[in-house]
Structure 1
Amino acid sequence: MRRLRFLIQKEFIQIFRNKALLPMMTLLPIIQLIVLSNAASNEVKDVRIAVVDQDQSELSRALSNKIVANDRFSLIATPFNKKDALDLMQLDEVDIVLEVPNDFERQFYRGEQPQLQTLVNAINGQQATVGSGYLNNIISSLNNQIRVDEPSLFSGIPKRNEPVVVSSNNWYNPELDYPHFMAPGILAELTALLTIVLTAMNTVREREIGTIEQINVTPIKKWEFILGKLVPFLCLGLILLTVGLIASKLIFDIPMRGNIGVIFIYAVVNLICVLGFGLLISNFAETQQQAIFVAFFFVLIFVLMCGLFTPIDSMPKWAQYATIPNPLAHFISVSRKVLLKGSGLADIKMEFLYTFILAILFNAAAVWSYKKQE
């Protein structure tokens, strides 16, 4: 234990001597958290739309006015034929074309179901899917408004049956505030990724400057060396998580419905896991450049398959199974469950179990792969 204590002390001295490391672990993640939480959003705004109104009736104009009044849409043009509207879409000037047929109001008065056609530019899949959903909601809202309220403009419309009204509530994020959804995930991502990259570079840096050879000739065991590298960065990771939680609360006022202690208990296991993975990379890399390239290869996979931007449930089955060895996916899931839903240890037992097994595997591989002269 005495040797281990000296190793940990040496690592802390090296960390505090590195003037670029502490800002990288504290200031830069906060800046990234602020920028990404505001920029990374699944919400679609400013959908450009063209309305081809071939009916030119009171009802079709009411629909156009309702679209203009919605702040998610920008009415770009009202061409008289579909060809002109499609030309605008071809020039990428509009995202959606809404075509109103020439007998739209008459069919509605007769109690029929008039057909509206929406043409969506699906090059941007997110814009197409969400934007068309917004438009369908507006059309449905106008339909219900006319059927239920019967404004004086449509007083001649015969009385219709009361439509079925569906009431919905958004649990855990009732205001649909995307920073509340993104900030916990981005905080977990930054905490895990920074520790992976920094530990991947740490051992390689000592190998490049030659100090690791002095350790190799000492009676220090391999597990002591790996543990001595792991503990200081584990402390830094927990400090980063603490600073990030405070910044998220002060800047975004994210809800903290669960026990914060649960986050830190899980974070210890997750950080041990990713630190072991970073040390495993450093054992095989010869230079810091190699370590960075290898680390970013796995980081890219971890980020794209962690559920931060794309829900894991919407992935193919094989991809869902591939996220099991992804510690980042489990960290994001736990942070959202605890902060937004108020989950406890029993609710995150599977994430905890997967991460615990990964931590054992990665650190055992790091100890086994470390080359030391006995």
Structure 2
Amino acid sequence: MRTLKILLEKEFRQIFRNPAILRLIFIMPIVQLLILPLAADYEVKNINIAVVDQDRSSYSRKLTDKIAASSYFNLVTYTNSYTEAIQEVEKDKADVVLQIPPAFEKDLIKEDKAKLFMALNAINGVKANLGGVYLRSIISDFNGEVRLEWVQLPRFNPQPMIKISSINWFNPLLNYQFFMVPGILVILVTMVGSFLAALNIVKEKEIGTIEQINVTPIRKHQFILGKLIPFWILGLIVLSIGMLLARIFYGIIPEGSLLTIYIFAVVYLLSVLGLGLLISTYTDTQQQAMLISFFLIMVFILLGGLYTSIDSMPQWAQVFTRFNPVTYFIDVMRMVVLKGSSLYDIRYHLLIVTAFGIFLNVWAVISYKKRN
């Protein structure tokens, strides 16, 4: 126990002596939690639209005014030439073109139906897709207003209409920051746990002190615990700082117990620390460890359910997410913060991450013994 205490004291002194590590541990979470949630917005706004009005009727003007009044669209061109509107798309000044054909109002009144044409600039697929959805919703609302106007006149034979009422559970205002901040916090904890732990151990190899430690009476498990426990504690500190910032700047107060989050974080950090130790056993320089860690972090982020729903991924990617520990922590954070889940609700997540931790740490210890 005394040996472990001396090793921990050495590690903490070494960490706090390095200003680069201190900046990564304390400044990086603050900057990322204050910037990323504001930039990572699922809503697409300021979509530039060009309206080709070849009808110039009262109904076409009402539709155009309704689109221009939306907070999602900017009316950049109002013309009767489809060619001119397409040129705006080619110049990257318009994202969507809506063509209102001649006799739009006449067909709508006489035939009870009319056609519109919509062209989308699909270079940005997300913007084109959501822009099309928003525009269809506005046209659908306009159609409902016209039908209501005709019912009141009355000159229209009313048909049965279904009115839908909805409620959003757990996130009533659909605040994307409540959804994003817990996931971003998981990524920060993962980077501290795996990335910095791997760099710290590899640095011992580069400066040659690990050979000196290997010839001392210090046992393997004491050395490994001495390396991992400091970053386990620092990971929990980063989590605490992140939770505090989320409460101060975004008003995020977990619906569930903080104890549930910390219990899972303790197990999760053991898992990612095992990954960091594993990386360190297969690398000889900090540059190699950085490249491997960066690659793994990118995979964890892209296939962790942070920005993209796992259910919308291809089948092979969904299978991979089951072997991604980040996926489980992001899911747990959102469950506890938004839904108020308890330890019983996350029991399967906890068991799976525990299995990851045992597997990665055992593999790392065995690999470390073989190579040293």
The answer, yes or no, to whether TM exceeds 0.5 is yes
2:130 is aligned to: 130
Residues 163-207 of structure 1 show CA distances to partners (whole Å, capped at 9, x for unaligned) of 211122222222122222111111111111232110110111111
The amino acid of 2:32's aligned partner reads Q
**2 CA distance for matches of 1:85 and 1:11?**
64
Scaled by the length of structure 1, what TM-score is found?
Answer: 0.94
The amino acid of 2:298's aligned partner reads L
1:195 is aligned to: 193
Matches within 5 A, 1:108-187: 108-110=108-110, 112-148=112-148, 155=153, 157-161=155-159, 163-187=161-185
2:30 is aligned to: 30
**2 CA distance for matches of 1:54 and 1:168?**
37
2:337 is aligned to: 339
**1 CA distance for matches of 2:256 and 2:30?**
22
Contact 1:49/1:95, CA 8 A, preserved across alignment: yes
Of 213, 216, 229, the residue aligned with 2:214 is 216
Contact 1:50/1:96, CA 8 A, preserved across alignment: yes
Contact 1:52/1:85, CA 8 A, preserved across alignment: yes
Q: CA deviation at 1:137?
A: 1.1
CA 1:95–1:162: 2 relative to 1, 3 Å: same
**1 CA distance for matches of 2:331 and 2:150?**
47
- The number of residue pairs the alignment matches comes to 372
Q: CA deviation at 1:247?
A: 0.2
Contact 1:180/1:255, CA 8 A, preserved across alignment: no
The amino acid of 1:343's aligned partner reads S
Matched, 1:242 2:240: yes
Q: Which shifted more, 200-209 or 339-348?
A: 339-348
CA 1:50–1:151: 2 relative to 1, 3 Å: farther
Name structure 1 gaps, 5 residues minimum.
none
SS of match in other structure, 1:4: helix
Contact 1:325/1:354, CA 8 A, preserved across alignment: no
Scaled by the length of structure 2, what TM-score is found?
Answer: 0.95
Contact 1:49/1:76, CA 8 A, preserved across alignment: yes
**2 CA distance for matches of 1:49 and 1:255?**
39
Identity of aligned residues (%): 46
The root-mean-square deviation of aligned C-alpha atoms, in Å, is 1.9
1:226 is aligned to: 224
CA 1:149–1:356: 2 relative to 1, 3 Å: farther
1:297 is aligned to: 295
Of 320, 323, 329, the residue aligned with 2:327 is 329
**1 CA distance for matches of 2:127 and 2:287?**
38
2:204 is aligned to: 206
SS of match in other structure, 2:346: helix
2:95 is aligned to: 95
Q: CA deviation at 1:111?
A: 5.6
Q: CA deviation at 1:156?
A: 6.8
CA 1:273–1:362: 2 relative to 1, 3 Å: same
Q: CA deviation at 1:43?
A: 0.9
